[in-house]
Structures are given as structure tokens and as C-alpha cells.
Structure 1
């Protein structure tokens, strides 16, 4: 593939976090962007207007965040708490607690529940409408084989990736046991899992510069579709330099996806045709998180050093919001060979 011409990284948001960015997410309803950070903050931005709309400070690093609606959300904190944040009224409360740092949080629009994953090796479901003390909010606790590293939702399906390369797939309508228990097809530690927008499977990335494309259909025909590919690598003097793949984000319209690595690059992929569509110019440091806006017009990129090379001087943490051109994300039609004459 020929190298893409240099492109500007996008518009840099004002008032970024002052320490590592753990996640960022666009709203399902607007261009509002929610950002969690190791600086103990959760910030709400209007990405189109480049404006900080609100901020909450926690007592410890915030490891994840998600929206409830445009003016409220939930946070997963290293102080073991799950918090509900209402930006309109500058109000927060503790929805519940785990016995160790909370690594992941998701809100299910299908069930109206908040789902959290922790390093205490449990998954918990909460009803945020509960008002009579946090125990009333807890719907269920589900033990996992190891610490939870990443989670993703599509419809009623929840995919949970843990340490030890375990992957559990749940149906939120019946959480008594996993619908599927799997092992990552990648050899090394999982960094990120994201479900396909069409609900047929998920992509899984790892520290060894690979992404696996998996499918929920367990039939032989379904499983023959799965594959893995190398990315975020380069060859120097005959040696492969491998970078962890920290982030995956699917385009909501085309189903193509972006990956972000510790090499500072964002690549765009067509999973169905197994091709790279585009590579953006290098960002200042590691890509920690990625998110497309609801209509796929914008891509938010967290350029934030993830300490894969230890404690060393690095570029300041920054959030870039770039406009997405169709040529970067739209799958290219397959060219059929001409019939023999």
C-alpha cells in the first residue's frame, strides 16, 4: 500500500487532561465527548465547538467512562467506586463499589443497566434508577476467571476480556452463566475488545501488535471466517519492532474500523476484505483511545503515552478531533477479473 500523504492530526481540544487518558467516548446522540483520565478527572467536551462543558474530580485515577445521556454518565474509578455523574446539575453520587479498582464501565440501552468490570475478578450489573441505597442498585455479581481488562456491548451481547487471555460472552437477558467461554486466539495479553456494529462478532487486540477478528456463530462455517492479522509493527535492520494495539473503534456507518497503537499511528481497516484503507500521519505519542462520532463524521484520538517503555519524558497528553473523509473509511469494491476472451 502506498504511503498516505501527510495529513493534519485534527483539531486539538483545549483544556485536555493533565495525565494519561484512559478512555474517550462520543455520545450516541450528539458531538459531546466524555473523557476519563489518570489525573482523577472525567471531562465533558463539545467536540464540534472545542469547549469544555463540565468536569468532575474523583479521589483516584479514573480508568473508564461512558454516557447515560448527553448530560450524564458513569465512571469507573481506581478507588473501587462506580459513580454516576450529572453534568447539568454538577451532581455526582456513588452507584456502587467493587473490592479492587474498577477497570471498565458500560451502559446498556437495551436493559437500562450499568455493567462494570473490576480487577477484583467480578462483573457487576447495576440499576441506576435505584434510590434506596446502593445495595438496592446492585442487580447481580458474576465471578470472572481473572481481572477484567476490556468490555464491549452490542445489543444484548456483552463481551468480557480478562487477564489470562480469557473471553466470556454474555446475553444480558440471562446472566446466570456465559453464553460462550473462549480463549483469545492471540498469544499475548489482551488490550482491547470491541463488538462489530452488526452484532456478528468482535475484534480483539493484544500487546504483540495483532488484531483477531472473531465471530459469535460457533458453526464450522461461522468459525472459518475468523482470522488474525499483524499491525502497528515496523522492520528496523531486519528486526520486527512490535507495538501494543491499545484501541479499536468501529465506524458506525461502514463497519470498517480504526486501530491505535503505541507507535503513535492510527490505521483504518476493511475487515471484510482484509485490507488497510488508510494510515494517518504519526501522532505525538501512543494512541490510548479512539472513538467515532455517532454519524461517523468525526474521529476522536487520545494521544497519550501509555508507559510501554517505562517512565521517560514524553509529549503532553492531547485529544485530537479529526474530520473523517469517506475515502478513508468506505470499503473499496472488489474488482472482479475480466472474463477471458
Structure 2
């Protein structure tokens, strides 16, 4: 039975509840990181997975989409923990940033890395972006030094620097949309047609600190996750936001934990966990949330519905990503530092798993 043989749709539609067997056949990435996993990124062109880690390394794995067999393809290093690693749009290079304040570029063909940028503080997130009407490619890096910088990879000086309201905690881009989530719940929205200025500053719709951001594939909005186990569905256009925007509870236990529908529930006591990672399916536009409670779920924002809940893995999930076709969902079982250094143990797992997605798990359900 091949790794992806179960990815075709089934006639029956199971309930969204987990039965404990959904993850049994998931494949483990061989020779994984030696410390907490901070970021996962699939190449847009082939099934190559980049894994950034607190062990100061970025590892690239080659994955057979049919069998799930995988092997290390390349590795490069920083001088401190790596917080973010992302692919170039043509899949030939990887850009990374970390606690050493450096932005690095790794060429997969030559296996060489070079520093292309520097900040005054740790680099929390990096993205490859296309700027302006001519789609000029650049690297965007967001830092705890409260700046967003653009690099063209040929000059040690940034193309442009944007002063942000606060330290960068999360950042993502899609199409011509770049969204930066900062400390004190600041959100900075940038139109990459005019990348050198902030299009709109806003406050997070959630009550507590921003933990994760992921832009919609269409580039017309973004989902934002916080430390209180809530997720906000946001749109750039104000009228779209009024019509379609909302927030819902997830990654909570006890009390009124998230229900099958994405609607606010009663305010009975419950324990809330950080939403560490949000990932959108490239084809269906549905999405995943993963949290410190050790679970991940698939959701449909347009139908305001939970599509599938998965069993608790008994360790925090620190990062997730779909591959370019959406047939593989990668998730990292790894300490997320949400409770400080004292909770981290030598035996805490640092594992990346590959889940073959089924249509009945992730495809929007037909409206009744």
C-alpha cells in the first residue's frame, strides 16, 4: 500500500471527530533535527522539505510522494537557532533567518550558503516575495529590531527598510499581500505593489499575543492565531471583512472547547493553548491549525466548519505545511517554548511526520 494510496476521496464522509487511527500510517522523516523545530517549508516545484531548527541548522529532505520514503539532500548552518526557512519561487534556493541576526541564502545546486542580510536583532521570519508591477523578486525579513527589510541578494545593503510598530512575531505573504504580526497585537499589512510603505496598520482581532499568521492562497486576507487558542479570519478589503470576517476558538480543553462549527461558544472555563501554526491547502483553500495542546485540525473558513480533528500526539506541534499539491501535510512534533525553558526535557521529541491527506479530511464539504 503506497503512502498516498489513500488520498482519493471516499464515498462515505466520516465525522470530524478523531478515532485515533488517522495518523498510524504517517511517515517519519529520517535523521531529523537535534533540537526544537521552528519552521517547515515545501519547495513549490518538487517534494523537497526544508526544516529549520534550534540546533542552528536547516536541513533539506527529498521525499518520494508515492512511498513516503525520504532522505537528506542538503544541510546548512547558522551561528544560532534558526527561526525561519523558506524556498525561492523557482525552488532552486532557500532563504533563512535566525537568532544570529543573519539572513542567509542557500543554493541547492552549488550547496553553498551566503549571508545576504543582517538585522540589529534576531530574524523571526523570512519570505521570498515579488514586488511592484514588474514582479521584482526579493527577500523580505522581519526582526525583533522592529524593522522589515528587503534584500535583492546581490548587495549587502537592503533595498528598503520599513520601521514597524513593534517586534516581529509572525509574518507571511501570498500573491501581492505581506502581513506582519508584531508584539502588542500590532498587524502591519503591506501591498507588495508598493512594498516600501505600510498599506494599513491594525490591531489583532484577538485578545492576546499573536503567535502565527498565514495568508490565503488568493492573497486577499489572512488567518491569525494567538496564544489563547483562538484564530481570526481576516480580509484586507473592509467590506469583505464586515461580511466574512470572524474569530473562533480552537486548541482548548475542558469547558466549551471548540465545537464542530466555527462559531463562538459559551464562556465556561477552559484551558487555552497557543495556536503555533496555520497552513492553507494550496488547491482547496481550506486550512489547518496546530497547537501546544498536541493536536491539529482541518477547517473550512467559508463554511465556518471543522472538517477534521486529529488525535492528540501528547507533545506540542510547533510547525506545519502542505506540499505544493496539498497531497502531503507535514507537521513537527517538538517543544514550542510556550512554557519557557524549564519544561523542555532531553527526551522531548523532535520529529517531523508526513501525513497523506485524504479528500474527505481537507476538501470543502458540499453545502446542504
TM-score range, shorter chain: over 0.9
Deviations 1:296-318 (A, max 9, x none): 00000011111223323353110
Deviations 1:77-102 (A, max 9, x none): 21111111123222111101000111
* Structure (1 or 2) with the greater strand fraction: 1
1:210 and 1:231 in contact (8 A); partners too? yes
Deviations 1:96-128 (A, max 9, x none): 100011111000144310000000000000112
Please point out which of 72, 77, 83 is paired with 1:63. 83
Please point out which of 351, 355, 359 is paired with 1:326. 359
Deviation of the 1:324 alpha carbon = 0.3
Aligned to 2:238: 218
Deviation of the 1:202 alpha carbon = 0.6
Consecutive unaligned residues in structure 1, runs of 5 or more = 336-341
Distance in 2, Cα, partners of 1:171 & 1:111: 14
Deviations 1:24-82 (A, max 9, x none): 01111111001111000000001323111011122111110111243421110211111
Please point out which of 37, 56, 60 is paired with 1:44. 60
Please point out which of 268, 273, 277 is paired with 1:243. 273
TM-score, structure 1 normalization: 0.93
Q: Confirm whether residue 166 of structure 1 aligns to residue 186 of structure 2.
A: yes
Deviates more, 1:23-32 or 1:46-55: 46-55
Q: Confirm whether residue 230 of structure 1 aligns to residue 249 of structure 2.
A: yes
Aligned to 1:80: 101
Distance in 2, Cα, partners of 1:142 & 1:40: 27
1:47 and 1:321 in contact (8 A); partners too? no
Aligned to 2:152: 127
Deviation of the 1:156 alpha carbon = 1.4
Distance in 2, Cα, partners of 1:243 & 1:315: 18
Please point out which of 17, 37, 42 is paired with 1:3. 17
Aligned to 2:291: 261
1:111 and 1:172 in contact (8 A); partners too? no
2:174 and 2:219 in contact (8 A); partners too? yes
1:232 and 1:245 in contact (8 A); partners too? yes
Deviation of the 1:2 alpha carbon = 5.7
Distance in 1, Cα, partners of 2:16 & 2:323: 28
1:80 and 1:98 in contact (8 A); partners too? yes
Distance in 2, Cα, partners of 1:70 & 1:214: 29
Aligned to 2:141: 116
Q: Confirm whether residue 18 of structure 1 aligns to residue 34 of structure 2.
A: yes
Consecutive unaligned residues in structure 2, runs of 5 or more = 1-14, 257-267
Distance in 2, Cα, partners of 1:71 & 1:173: 24
Q: 1:80 to 1:70 in 2, by over 3 A?
A: same
Q: 1:147 to 1:284 in 2, by over 3 A?
A: same
1:83 and 1:96 in contact (8 A); partners too? yes
Deviations 1:118-141 (A, max 9, x none): 00000000112x1xx512xx2100
**Secondary structure of the structure 2 residue equivalent to 1:164:** helix
The number of aligned residues is 329
Distance in 2, Cα, partners of 1:146 & 1:246: 20
Instruction: Give matches, 1:163-312, under 5 Å.
Output: 163-219=183-239, 222-235=241-254, 239-310=269-340, 311-312=342-343
1:246 and 1:289 in contact (8 A); partners too? yes
